[in-house]
A and B are shown apart, each in its own frame.
Chain A
Amino acid sequence: MMAARPMALAVLFAAAALAAGDLSAQDGDDLGEVTYVRWCAGCHGVDGTGNGPGAEYMLPRPRDFTLALYQIRTTANGALPTDDDILAIIDRGMPGTTMPGWENLLSDDEKEALVEYLKSFSRFFTPDEVPQPLDFGGATRVNADVLAEGEAQYQALECWRCHGNEGRGDGESSPTLTDDVLDFPIRAADLTENWLFNGGGEVEDIHRRMLTGLDGTPMPTQADLITAGIIDEDQLWALAHYVRSLSPDDPPGITEVVRGVLFEDAPLPSSVNDEAWLDVERAYLPLVGQIIVSPRWFDPRVDGVWVQAAHDGESVAVRVSWSDPNNSPDPEWADWKSSIISLMQPKEGDPQDEGPTPDQLMVQFPMQMPEGMEMPFFLRGDDSRSVYLWQWQSDRDGALEGEARGFGTEAFQSEGENLTVDASHADGEWQVMFTRRLVTDDEADLDFVTGEAIPMALFAWDGDNGESGTRGAVSSWYFLFLEEATPTTVYVYPALAMLLTFLLGILVVRSAQKREREGGEVVSETAI
């Protein structure tokens, strides 16, 4: 079991820094420079322009420090960050990007020296000008009225133009957004995933960014609206509360097992929008870029899917939901797509924009329930253990069943007669529901068992993000567990145990009292 061991790591790092200085560092070198070259230059480049060897594998690209453009600040729009602002980014990293937090990896001295060194890349930082943080005030209380006011402001201030009606980053302007420096495509934040907000996901963080803007990105400051008297401070806080409310209260924990709820009396959900799904618990499974087999993909659009499952003893229904700004292929996103394809490394397989590509979802199970630990390789199986696949794509009706023994060996049955699918795209979200009988006549299908953990993996592609084939998002093995009816013994045993304990208690107390009456004060000397 891996536990977080920040202290241990910090000690190890310090030891590493001491032991390993011989190649890069000399006595008397600037600590900031040594730290930077050692730990930061791989992405940000030795010259600070954001062109390290790793840079082209990342989008957004690593920051160019020569411009002194910092997204996450406590200072006014366009102003330089304070030292504490830079330190906070080093400590916390930029969630949702490739920038990790260094809080436990670098010593305080190293981080302080690093701040000075980062500033030295830009002529904008001068000793006489000390950036001053804004006064943000305190968060207002939140209640239903405040959230309603916040939603009204979301409409009135037209946040939806980029972030979309429900905040999933699917607004009408989102396909053409670019950053200010490189003019590369940049995503409008998906406001339903606050754990990926790069400046923090709590209401204070959100409010702060609405006042400062995210410099270097299309996200503007709203401060002029307050200066001009168009909204007041409480209304801005209400908007911040509303944006916060679009995400879950807590970031979703990664659950290893998706529970397939048993519908004993009620019928299984019949469509993807069936209200019965509202009562079925959701499991969040993170997806990451497919970087294992060539050609790899370092810019997956889908970073996670919500999975629900239900069965009634006859059939199983699995609903998968995920944020995707559009239903690919969509001509509005054609420029975005070709940009992404041309910008991302590696160029394995010579990626070309070969015209319209759909969104896709694939659900994978082992072809045979594994005995012991012998599961198929999680990417489409291997020579000795094949996998069973469900495949859906946005430009085709129905879904396919198939089998594979490794990436590229997928063989789909002519028509998935045992598998039905219902899909809908609305407000930046795909919802896809598969339904299949637990047991089919087809020998090429997996027979689903109840009461056992069935390995399951998922793959998703956003066609208009340049994804198809091996270029997409993948998960490793998770499990689908189809519940069995609760046996009555589950209730009988506790009742029996309770009764027995109670009777035993009566017995013990009675006998003690009896002895007390008979033996009087000698009781304390009686051994049991």
Chain B
Amino acid sequence: MSDRFELRGLVWPTLMLLVMAGCGGGDGGGGGDAGGGAAMEDPVDAATAGNIAGSIVFEGDAPSMAVIDMSQESVCADKHSSTPMIQEVVVNSNGTLANVFVYVKEGLESLQFPTPGPVLLDQNGCVYLPHVLGVMVGQDITIRNSDGLLHNINASPTVNRGFNSSQPVSMESTRSFGSAEIMVPLRCDVHGWMTAYVGVVDHPKHSVSNGSGAFSLSTLPPGEYVIEAWHERYGTQTQNVTVTTGETTEVTFTFSAS
């Protein structure tokens, strides 16, 4: 029944993965199973690795956040204890900026990372949780509808192919992106205020600044890196960072109100 509607395009990649997994086993790579990439070992030697940690400082007056009018969607409105706001610019109480996507832009090209397990993107209270999300190429995104009313998840990438799927009830769908892309915008056309961004990178070394403006990129081999920070309104910034074994390098990005 349902397989009739599966993308036929999936058949070939799946077959190829199976073949590659088989070849890997033949090379004596050690216990390669049909799970493909899942069996791959982390290429970073934890003993020699260092970390990057830092925060996103915000300068200037924080723009006022627009209020979301959920009056017509009482199911969602009731889920919010405080007035829901557009999450485009979220300045934390300590003067830092949340929802900044930070990732290693250059310096990890030679390493092959195993694909991590699925990451959750929830639609709850007619907002996306989280608002900014990082994934690795090929990593599954579990898109959940916790509201039980119609959302559509409309991804409009430019490097990848997009999708636009309907979720009229509480349910989950799974999607992934095949190429690195900063950033893939997602939106719900039913609720025009619902937007989210997905950063797709070739490795798992990415982070999103949190409610205290902090981010961290852990377990990196020692060396030189280019780190990029992306914000929905204020654009991107890069810094060159040196990572040394056993140490945590502090990095601060500063975004200014424009």
Contact = CB atoms under 8 A, between A and B. Distances in A.
Nearest to B143: A224
What interface size band does chain B fall in? 20 to 34
A11 B5 CA distance: 43
A233 B189 contact: no
Interface string A124-160: 1000000110110100000000000000000011100
B6 A78 contact: no
Nearest to B3: A227
- Most chain B beta-carbon neighbours within 10 Å: one of A67, A132, A162, A227: A227
A158 B149 contact: yes
Interface stretch (A212-220, A345-353, A389-397, A514-522): A212-220
Nearest to B163: A78
Interface stretch (A20-28, A172-180, A412-420): A172-180
Interface string B139-181: 0000000000110111010100111111111011100000000
What interface size band does chain A fall in? 35 or more
A158 B150 contact: yes
B173 A228 contact: yes
Contacts of B153: 220
B8 A132 contact: yes
Nearest to A76: B7
B1 A233 contact: yes
A173 B5 CA distance: 28
Interface string A230-263: 1011000000000000000000000000000000
Contacts of B156: 180-181
A213 B149 CA distance: 19
Contacts of A222: 166
Contact of B161 (A124, A219, A227): A124
Given A76-B9, A173-B192, A224 B165 contact: yes
Contact of B164 (A124, A134, A218, A229): A218
B166 A224 contact: yes
Interface string B7-27: 111000000000000000000
Contact of B5 (A161, A177, A181, A227): A227
A82 B200 CA distance: 27
Contacts of A220: 152-154, 164-166, 189
A223 B158 CA distance: 23
A77 B164 contact: yes
Contact of A157 (B1, B168, B172): B168
B167 A132 contact: no
Interface of chain A: mostly helix, strand, loop or mixed: loop
Contacts of A230: 168-169, 171
B66 interface: no
B168 A172 contact: no
A228 B165 contact: no
A164 B153 CA distance: 20
A180 B163 CA distance: 11
Interface string A51-86: 000000000000000010100000011111000000
B192 A215 contact: no
A495 interface: no
Interface string B192-233: 100000000000000000000000000000000000000000
B166 A173 contact: no
A157 B166 contact: yes
B169 A227 contact: no
Nearest to A222: B166
A132 B9 contact: yes
A172 B70 CA distance: 12
A161 B190 contact: yes
Contacts of A180: 154, 156, 162, 164
Contacts of B258: none
Interface in A73-108: 76-80
Interface in A200-227: 211, 213, 215, 217-227
22 contacts: A78-B163, A79-B7, A79-B9, A132-B9, A158-B149, A162-B189, A172-B72, A173-B191, A181-B156, A213-B165, A215-B162, A218-B154, A221-B163, A223-B5, A224-B167, A224-B173, A225-B166, A225-B168, A227-B2, A228-B172, A230-B169, A232-B1
Nearest 6 A/B pairs, CB to CB:
A218-B189, A158-B150, A176-B192, A220-B166, A220-B152, A132-B8
Given A135-B4, A157-B150, 5 more contacts: A172-B72, A176-B189, A221-B163, A224-B165, A228-B173
